[in-house]
Structure 1
Amino acid sequence: MGHQPELQIEQRKLLDLHLELVLKENERSNLTRIVDWQQGQLLHIEDSLVGLQEFEDAPSGRAADLGSGGGFPGIPLAIVSGRPIMLVDSVAKKTTALDRMIEELGLEGQVSTYTGRSEELALEMPESFAVITVRALSSLPSLLELAVPLLSLGGQLICYKAAVEAEELEQAAGLEEKLGMKLVSMRTTQLSDNGTNRTILVYEKVGEPMVSLPRRPGMAQKRPYKA
């Protein structure tokens, strides 16, 4: 596949097994809207690995994947990079399914799960993460707010976006100082179907926020901060 790194045979097997387990799990619970193998290869595996370079370049330390769902991009990133990661999802049936998959993939020592919202995790493990990944979860202003109380100083938020409107970028830029975050890189690439674009944005925590975080669960999405 066009935008994947060179994969070892064992990594390729684990990536395929993960997708197989997700599609099987999908038959009994709604883990992902993708139910087709080829679509899954493109929009789950290949898409997850688009941000591999940024993930590997991020500071060393704990990693978390917010709103992980079926384990994307967290599990593929863990398989290929070797970095440990915590998969965070508020839906218990999803984290239960993830625990089963982690065991079948033999990743118990490397990949863990957390059932709850990111705001709850931030209260339990404040400023404990060096890198946070998030894919298609919310708008940039909301994502920045959710990441700040979880990240240690110098830690990075890696956002996967299908499309980024200029207005959304401007809103996020206007909040950088308030939230103590700074956009350090942004690139857009095309998946191997030559029709699907992905933008990877990396924000770094450069200072303490001027507001008290986290707010109550859901507030970041319902009433995101304005610049």
Structure 2
Amino acid sequence: MNEEKLRAFADLVLKWSPKINLVSKADLNHVWDRHIRDSLRLLPYLPKDLDRAIDLGSGGGFPGMVLCIASGIPFEMIESDSRKAAFLMEAARQIGAPAKIHNCRIEAARVEPATLITARALAPLDKLLGLAAPLLKPEGFCLFPKGKGVEVELTLAAPLWHMDTDHISAPDWGESCILKVSQIRHAGAA
């Protein structure tokens, strides 16, 4: 993990955030703990032989850019907000992160399916699976940080999606977890 590059990224978030709201004003003094460290929770669950990953609704770069910088794994980041996409492009350029930024809606993205898809605070699980499924390789999986409402999200997604799930948690994470989702199939599919 390259802490120096992660600190440089955190500095860029602080510099750009007042103009384009990458993180809330309340979080400006807590970027490292609330956003960088939270994104790094996913790092141990990235496959060692991963050649690339996709991050949906990348926003301020959490978790995609953080994981890209920390792991060196190329990430394709899909962000519809032009200002946030410009920030991600500039951050990748300045830090030398192996990231490719797609400034478009997720449904319009022209990217090859990947083994790993990440997304943080993008949408409820039933909608998130609809966005992720077309971009996920059959043998792939998703890592989604979720909060205390994860069980409700799973219940709402169950009539629409078949999937295998694994809850990853730790004592110091409180009610949050990482939801690992694989074998995603629309309930109407054969």
Question: Greater shift after overlay, 19-28 or 160-169?
Answer: 160-169
* Secondary structure class of the residue paired with 1:60: coil
Give yes or no for contact 1:89–1:115 (8 Å, CA) kept in 2: yes
Backbone CA RMSD of aligned residues = 2.3
> What is residue 141 of structure 2 aligned with on the other side?
156
Q: Which residue of 2 aligns with 1:43?
A: 34
Which has more radius of gyration? 1
One-letter identity of the residue aligned with 1:98: L
Q: Does residue 199 of structure 1 match 2:177?
A: yes
What does 1:6-25 correspond to in 2, within 5 Å?
Answer: 7=1, 11-25=2-16
Given residue 181 of structure 2, which amino acid in structure 1 is its aligned partner?
A: Y
Match of 1:92 among 82, 89, 92: 82
SS in 1 for 2:39: helix
| 1:181-200 → structure 2 map (5 Å cutoff) | 182-189=163-170, 197-200=175-178
In the TM superposition, what whole-angstrom CA distance separates every residue of 1:114-164 from its partner, at most 9, and x where no partner exists?
Answer: 01111111xx23x62211101011111111111111111111111111222
In 2, are the aligned partners of 1:34 and 1:40 still within 8 Å (CA)? no
Q: Which runs of 5+ in 1 are unaligned?
A: 1-6, 212-227
Distance 2:156 2:138 in 1: 22
Q: Offset of 1:208 from its aligned partner?
A: 7.3
Q: Once superposed, which parts of structure 1, at least 4 consecutive aligned residues long, lie more than 6 Å away?
A: none
Aligned residues: 189
Deviation at 1:22, TM superposition (A): 0.7
Q: Does the Cα contact within 8 Å between 1:189 and 1:197 map onto a contact in 2?
A: no
Which of residues 124, 127, 132 is equivalent to 1:142?
Answer: 127
Cα distance in 2 between the residues matched to 1:57 and 1:164? 27
Q: Are the equivalent residues in 2 in contact too, given 1:59–1:131 (CA < 8 A)?
A: no
**2:101 is equivalent to residue 116 of structure 1:** no
Deviation at 1:60, TM superposition (A): 2.8
Q: CA shift at 1:62, angstroms?
A: 3.0
Asked if 1 retains the 8 angstrom alpha-carbon contact of 2:159 and 2:187, the reply is no
Q: Judging changes above 3 Å, is the alpha-carbon distance between structure 1 residues 99 and 189 closer, same or farther for their aligned structure 2 residues? A: same
- In structure 2, stretches of 5+ residues that fail to align are none
Greater RCO structure (CA 8 Å; 6+ sep): 1
1:58–1:156: 8 Å Cα contact kept in structure 2? no
Does 2:21 correspond to 1:30?
A: yes
Give the match's secondary structure for 1:57. coil
The 3 A distance-change label for structure 1 pair 206 and 169 is closer
For residue 205 of structure 1, report the CA deviation from its aligned partner.
3.2
**In 2, distance between residues paired with 1:28 and 1:61?**
34
SS at match of 2:134: coil
Distance (whole Å) between structure 1 residues aligned to residue 102 and residue 87 of structure 2: 12
Counterpart in 2 of 1:3? none
- For normalisation by structure 1, the TM-score amounts to 0.75
